[in-house]
Structure 1
Amino acid sequence: MNRDSALQLLKKYIQNDQLIKHSLATEAIMRKLAVELDEDPERWGMIGLLHDLDFDQTKDNPEKHTVIAAKLLTDNGFDQNFIDAVQSHNAEELGLERKTTVEFALTAAESITGLIVATTLVYPEKKIAAVKSKSIRKRMKAKAFARAVSRERILECEQLGVEFPRFVEISLTAMGEISDELGL
């Protein structure tokens, strides 16, 4: 499946515009991380794009999140390693354990998007271009800020050998490159 087909698949199952933007942001970060780690940016990007494929159907049942996605991905020809990576970001609910580089990357990437968006929205211009990595690092320490964002999940970037400050730079750059699509 190519990227355009994957985006069509996402939009077939996800109606919420904010969730589509979250998926696009996660895709962008995953692509940048793949380059940083000498992995396949197309595959990693696709994992990021499709990681919440079933969220509209499972948002009220977190223990089912990614279970429906696994079936949809299987039906669309994705391999088991791809599906395992997608399911890994919901490992806690499914009783799974993250083990691979891509699994840690997805969890950290999809989690930091919320911190970056929340930080962007407190700036007067509400533009990612105005946000500095130092501001993200500062807000990471403020537990009351964007409290729904799991700091522990973001710090899984260190399982990749990517220190948190570098991860922030990668993520901010990635999201900045698609700021028009994100409306930020």
Structure 2
Amino acid sequence: MPDPTRAPAWALLCEFTKTQPLRRHALSVEASMRALARRAGVADPAEVEAWGVVGMIHDFDYERFPTAQDHVFRGMEILRERGWPERIVRAVGAHANYSGIAPESPLERAIVAADELSGFVGACALVRPSKSVRDLPAESVVKKMKDKTFARSVDRGEIRRGAELVGLQLAELIALVIAAQLPLADALGVGGAAAPDLPDAPVPPEPPAA
């Protein structure tokens, strides 16, 4: 099977994920992954798409299988049963630091960098007076990382590990993720107003190139 495109990836996500926050997280991580692909020098649009697809589906099984005993492992099984390429399956597994899959390829390293930070940036935006990522400076995110009472479920160590894996300074990676979210701010619910629901179809617009 060739690398899947956004349409089957979105269909898979919506089949397993009904909650809007998880769907928005998928779009957020997809945008970050596309930005990381371009930052890494990926020029082939199909390869940029593959990175985005990994971002979109990395948590597709989480709603049904939320425990560390199941999450990513059940998802990987499903992907293999449906004939998804092994490099996509492996990248999905690599985003979980307990999976036993060491992130080795640029794609696998990028999903570690994109996952936790994409969610954390969104959380930082929502506590601003504007409730928007559009006026969120990277420095504010760095400061929030030091506040252990804020967004306690976010693993700061994973965010720092992700920056190291992709060879970026933490502030650089944060700025990249913020920039990736800007064009999608309204759809992600970080544009100052409540986000519209993301239906099963059609596929949401592709994040524009930065």
> Pick from 91, 96, 99: which aligns with 2:104?
99
How is 1:136-155 mapped onto 2 (pairs within 5 angstroms)? Answer: 136-155=141-160
Q: Show CA shifts across 1:31-57 (max 9, x none).
A: 000000023311110000000111111
Distance 1:153 1:103 in 2: 14
**TM-score, normalising length: structure 2:** 0.82
String of CA shifts for 1:122-166, please: whole Å, max 9, x gaps: 111211112111111111222222121111111122221111111
Pick the aligned partner of 1:82 from 76, 81, 88: 88
TM-score normalised by L of structure 1: 0.92
**Which residue identity does 1:23 align to in structure 2?**
A
| Distance in 2 between residues matched to 1:5 and 1:97, nearest whole Å | 27
Distance 2:179 2:164 in 1: 18
More helix by share: 1
**1:179: which partner in 2?**
185
State the partner residue of 1:51: 58
Give the deviation of 1:10 after TM superposition.
0.6
Match of 1:17 among 20, 24, 30: 20
CA distance in structure 2 between the aligned counterparts of 1:26 and 1:145, rounded to whole angstroms: 20
Q: Match of 1:55, SS?
A: coil
CA contact (8 A) 2:90 2:101 kept: no
Deviations 1:40-98 (A, max 9, x none): 31111000000011111111x21211122112222343211111110011231x33322
Which residue is 2:204 aligned to? none
Q: How many residues align?
A: 182
Q: Secondary structure at the match of 1:58?
A: coil
Measured in 2, the distance between the counterparts of 1:76 and 1:175 equals: 31
What residue in structure 2 maps to residue 122 of structure 1? 127
Deviation at 1:101? 2.3
Runs of 4+ more than 6 Å apart: none
* Distance in structure 2 (CA, Å) of the matches to 1:36 and 1:84: 22
Q: What is the Cα deviation at residue 24 of structure 1?
A: 0.6
Q: For residues 144 and 99 of structure 1, what CA distance do their matches in structure 2 show?
A: 32
* Secondary structure at 2:64 match in 1: helix
- Residue type of the partner of 1:36? R
- 1:37 aligns to 2:44 (yes or no): no
* Structure 2 residue 84 is the aligned partner of structure 1 residue 64: no
Aligned residues with identical type, % of pairs: 30
Q: Does the 8 Å CA contact 1:21/1:181 hold for their aligned counterparts?
A: yes
Please point out which of 11, 32, 35 is paired with 1:8. Answer: 11
Query: Which of residues 138, 142, 152 in structure 2 aligns to 1:133?
Result: 138
Q: Aligned-residue CA RMSD in angstroms?
A: 1.4
